[in-house]
């Protein structure tokens, strides 16, 4: 029997939390403007009271801007969601770049299935010699997490159905890290969480370069374990600019 699709995506809100991102934001916005999609798209910048030109850049691009002075990325994502008008909320970061012009469409058409409440895509790095190794590691990690039905998607490449986002209360704005996985854990109780491997986002290697690979992997592996055990993630995650 053929599955009858009862829901079609009409409008998508792409939410980008920012804090002093004048270096990276222009490329992110430029590539978002080139997305090929059969639905309306609005861009929302949720800014943490930047001291540079971040908000000016956002406004000149036509994006909506909201200022959130609570300096957690969860609070920024939540502030953006509050002014969003889309059926689907897509979360990404200022230093992230869609891998191609079909990223948004591939991610969001997961919701043509009414049982899907959240979807996430794969990640790579665009400014490091380790890009290939990182992409292989993270793709393998996401694949097996999806097979085991474990919440694992990153907030730099994640989408949720708006009505379900608010049913579970959205993000815990007090969390410093792990807000993306915690949200997915709550949403899984309401429906399907799916991994869309072809919906790829490329992110900056700035934290790996600042911390070193060993510290970076150690941080995220231990954070993941804590979150899967029902505990809160690490409480310190300083901005790297």
Q: Report the CATH number that the domain containing residue 109 is assigned in CATH.
A: 3.90.550.10
| 77 found inside a domain | yes
Q: Please state the rounded mean pLDDT for residues 106-129.
A: 93
What percent of the chain shows pLDDT beyond 90? 65
Q: Which residue has the higher pLDDT, 69 or 240?
A: 69
- Give the pLDDT score at 133: 73
- Give the pLDDT score at 188: 94
- Give the pLDDT score at 7: 66
| 25 found inside a domain | yes
| 23 found inside a domain | yes
- Residue 11 pLDDT > 70: yes
- Domain residues for the domain of 82 are 11-206
List the strands of the sheet with 88-91, edge to edge. Answer: 64-67, 40-47, 11-18, 88-91, 158-161, 116-125, 192-203, 96-98
- Give the pLDDT score at 6: 54
Q: Please state the rounded mean pLDDT for residues 25-51.
A: 96
| 36 found inside a domain | yes
Residues facing 96 on adjacent strands: 203
| 118 found inside a domain | yes
- Residue 4 pLDDT > 60: no
- Residue 3 pLDDT > 50: no
| 215 found inside a domain | no
- Give the pLDDT score at 2: 42
Q: Which of 169, 164, 159 is nearest to 201 (CA)?
A: 159
- Give the pLDDT score at 129: 75
Q: Average pLDDT, whole number, for the chain?
A: 89
Domain count, the chain: 1
The model's pLDDT over 109-119, given as tens digits with 9 standing for 90+, comes to: 999 999 999 99
| 201 found inside a domain | yes
Beta-strand runs (E) in the chain: 11-18, 40-47, 64-67, 88-91, 96-98, 116-125, 158-161, 192-203
Q: Please state the rounded mean pLDDT for residues 134-158.
A: 84
């Amino acid at each position: 029997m053929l599955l009858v699709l009862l829901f079609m995506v009409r409008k998508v809100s792409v939410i980008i939390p920012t804090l002093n991102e004048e270096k990276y934001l222009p490329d992110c916005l430029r590539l978002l403007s080139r997305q090929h999609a059969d639905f309306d798209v609005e861009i929302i910048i949720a800014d943490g009271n930047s001291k540079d030109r971040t908000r000016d850049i956002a406004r000149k691009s036509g994006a909506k801007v909201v200022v959130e002075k609570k300096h957690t990325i969860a609070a920024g994502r939540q502030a953006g969601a509050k002014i969003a008008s889309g059926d689907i909320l897509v979360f990404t970061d200022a230093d992230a770049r869609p891998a191609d012009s079909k990223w948004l469409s591939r991610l969001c058409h997961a919701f043509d299935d009414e049982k899907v409440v959240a979807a996430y895509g794969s990640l790579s790095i665009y400014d490091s010699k380790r890009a290939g190794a990182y992409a292989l590691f993270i793709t393998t990690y996401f694949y097996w997490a999806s097979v085991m039905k474990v919440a694992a998607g990153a907030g730099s490449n994640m989408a949720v159905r708006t009505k379900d986002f608010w049913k579970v209360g959205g993000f815990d704005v007090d969390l410093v890290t792990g807000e993306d996985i915690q949200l997915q854990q709550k949403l899984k109780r309401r429906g399907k969480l799916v991994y869309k491997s072809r919906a790829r986002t490329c992110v900056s290697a700035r934290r790996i370069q600042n911390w070193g690979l060993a510290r970076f992997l150690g941080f995220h592996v231990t954070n993941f374990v804590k979150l899967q055990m029902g505990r809160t993630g690490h409480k310190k995650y300083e901005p790297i600019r």
